[in-house]
A and B are shown apart, each in its own frame.
Chain A
Amino acid sequence: MKLYSPVLFLVFSLLFCEVAAQNDKMALVKGGVYLPLYGAENKTVKVEPFLMDIYPVTNTDYLKFVEEYPQWKKSNVKPLFADKSYLTNWKDDETFQGLPNAPVTNVSWFAAKKYCECQGKRLPTMDEWEFAAMANEKMQDARRIETYNQYILNWYETPKTFNNPIGETFKNYWGIYDLHGLVWEWTLDFNSVLISGESRKDVDKDSNLFCGSAAIGASDLMNYAAFMRYAFRGSMKARYSSQNLGFRCAKDVEN
């Protein structure tokens, strides 16, 4: 018992430190109302305040995770939860390639979701992600600003940005980096996108694959940059992974 108490104390303080450290790396997004590109037509969405990781999850972060939860190692992962391209660049179960502080990619939605849950966090919802990502350095909503859109489009044309380290793109209004310019990111409800992609059968609004398909229309077709992102999400399945797709976690604000 004498031995246990200090050990327990140490464990708890470590746990506490870890939790505190994690929150340090998160930024508060104050929330608000915004008009998403897709969803109910011309209907604004209210986003509650939430915390978001300042940076995407890195190779080093992810290595720590698979060491702790070996069922998510490359050779152990169940194919229901990740397809063959899961961590495809890793030399073996515990050796990633590329920079330690480059974003981890080639992870499935299940893996990303689990990672966040194991940090006491969760994946951001698509509305949260989009809300945070419409900011530039100065403004909460920069979607009408030409330079903002040009930045994203330039990025789309730049090859292999997934090899870059985190934190080298701009710091946005909320203090968050890399929402644009590095990798695309998983969202909790990526499968709420009902535009072309999932089956490629919904090219017309009469497609019988979707009910209520007429409700989906771009509220701003000019916003090609965002359209690409939604289309990509719509084309993904939860067990898929991709070289240019990483993730970061979010958290509710505790009162």
Chain B
Amino acid sequence: MNNFKYLAIVIALTAFFSCNNNSEKNVDTADTAKVKKTESEAIPEMSIYNLPSHWTNQNGEEIELKDLQGKVVVMVMIYTTCKAACPRLVADMRNIEKQVPEEKKDDVQYVFVSIDPETDTPERLKAFSKENEMEDEKWLFLRGTEADTREFAAVLAVSYKEISPMDFSHSNIISVFNHKGEMVHQQEGLGVDNKETVQTIIDLAK
């Protein structure tokens, strides 16, 4: 079992570091099975699912962003040791979730991406989800490599900087993506009026 884990890591690393055409093709073939399901719907060019990054969730499972395809995704970047803004961002996310009507709730995935992957191990993320009573499947906590995290933040136009081993400054942005991973809306700031964000989610969700 351990061997498999290592193998998976090696494959993930290879996929991440490789940049030649051949290996990208290989990755494509490996994903063909998944893609076939949605054959008619190719990934649009502005979709975040074009990013080849690999992530680990709060249950220690490896996932690719692509795995989120098919749901409305509401995403925010935080770190679990944050005392100032993040609790408010978490509250904002919860607040948004509450306003989505029951029949649409299943179509929405809420994702917290850690900007402090070193501290935020899957165990730490799991504990954080418990502390915040966010253990339902609709709450997803992700950590990736530092490089993938930096790249992902670049896509979301989120800025962040480590200001001490315990603290980061970061922009407070909640992003909404459609079923294909295209960014539809961004809400900037803490505790701001989220009417527009909620409406976007309701309009998108089936």
B12 within 8 A of A: no
Q: Which among B51, B169, B188, B191 is the interface contact of A211 at CB below 8 angstroms?
A: B169
Q: How far is the CA of A70 from the CA of B19 in the complex (A)?
A: 12
Q: Provide the residues of chain B in CB contact with A193, threshold 8 Å.
A: 159, 161
Q: Provide the residues of chain A in CB contact with B192, threshold 8 Å.
A: 208
Chain B min CB distance to A245 (Å): 15
Q: Provide the residues of chain A in CB contact with B2, threshold 8 Å.
A: none
Which has the most chain A C-beta neighbours within 10 Å: B50, B159, B192? Answer: B159
Q: Which listed segment binds B: A27-35, A112-120, A136-144, A175-183?
A: A112-120
Contact of B159 with A69 in the complex, beta carbons under 8 Å? no
A237 within 8 A of B: yes
Contacts A80-B48, A194-B159 known; A210 to B191 CB distance under 8 Å?
A: no
B154 within 8 A of A: yes
Q: Provide the residues of chain B in CB contact with A194, threshold 8 Å.
A: 159-161, 169-171
Chain B min CB distance to A128 (Å): 14
Q: Provide the residues of chain B in CB contact with A47, threshold 8 Å.
A: none
Within B130-158, which residues are at the interface with A (CB < 8 Å)?
A: 150-151, 153-155, 157-158
- Chain A 211-242, CB within 8 Å of chain B: the 1/0 string? 11101100000000000000000100110000
Q: Which among B17, B168, B188 is the interface contact of A212 at CB below 8 angstroms?
A: B168
B3 within 8 A of A: no
Contact of A80 with B50 in the complex, beta carbons under 8 Å? yes
A192 within 8 A of B: yes
Contact of B45 with A210 in the complex, beta carbons under 8 Å? no
Q: How far is the CA of A209 from the CA of B191 in the complex (A)?
A: 10
Classify the interface of chain B: helix, strand, loop or mixed: mixed
A103 within 8 A of B: no
B20 within 8 A of A: yes
Contacts A69-B20, A192-B160 known; A109 to B171 CB distance under 8 Å?
A: no
Within B32-61, which residues are at the interface with A (CB < 8 Å)?
A: 45-48, 50-51
Q: How far is the CA of A234 from the CA of B157 in the complex (A)?
A: 10
B100 within 8 A of A: no
Q: Provide the residues of chain A in CB contact with B127, threshold 8 Å.
A: none
Classify the interface of chain A: helix, strand, loop or mixed: loop
Q: Which among A114, A211, A237 is the interface contact of B154 at CB below 8 angstroms?
A: A237
Contacts A69-B19, A80-B50, A194-B169 known; A212 to B163 CB distance under 8 Å?
A: yes
Chain B min CB distance to A76 (Å): 10
Q: Provide the residues of chain B in CB contact with A234, threshold 8 Å.
A: 159
Size of the B side of the interface (Cβ < 8 Å), in residues, is 38
Interface residues on A, range: 35 or more
Contact of B188 with A114 in the complex, beta carbons under 8 Å? no
Q: Provide the residues of chain A in CB contact with B202, threshold 8 Å.
A: none
Contact of B150 with A191 in the complex, beta carbons under 8 Å? yes
Contact of B169 with A215 in the complex, beta carbons under 8 Å? yes
Q: Which chain B residue lies CB-closest to A188?
A: B150
Q: How far is the CA of A124 from the CA of B40 in the complex (A)?
A: 40
Q: How far is the CA of A194 from the CA of B20 in the complex (A)?
A: 34
Contact of B155 with A80 in the complex, beta carbons under 8 Å? yes
Contacts A69-B19, A188-B150, A211-B172 known; A198 to B159 CB distance under 8 Å?
A: yes
Additional A-B contacts beyond A40-B163, A71-B24 (18; CB < 8 A): A43-B164, A69-B21, A80-B51, A109-B154, A110-B154, A117-B17, A118-B20, A188-B150, A189-B150, A191-B159, A198-B157, A199-B171, A208-B191, A209-B188, A211-B84, A211-B86, A212-B163, A237-B157
Please, could you name 17 A-B residue pairs with CB atoms under 8 Å apart, sorted by A? A39-B163, A69-B21, A78-B45, A80-B45, A189-B161, A191-B150, A191-B154, A192-B160, A198-B157, A199-B188, A211-B86, A211-B190, A212-B163, A212-B169, A215-B169, A234-B159, A237-B157
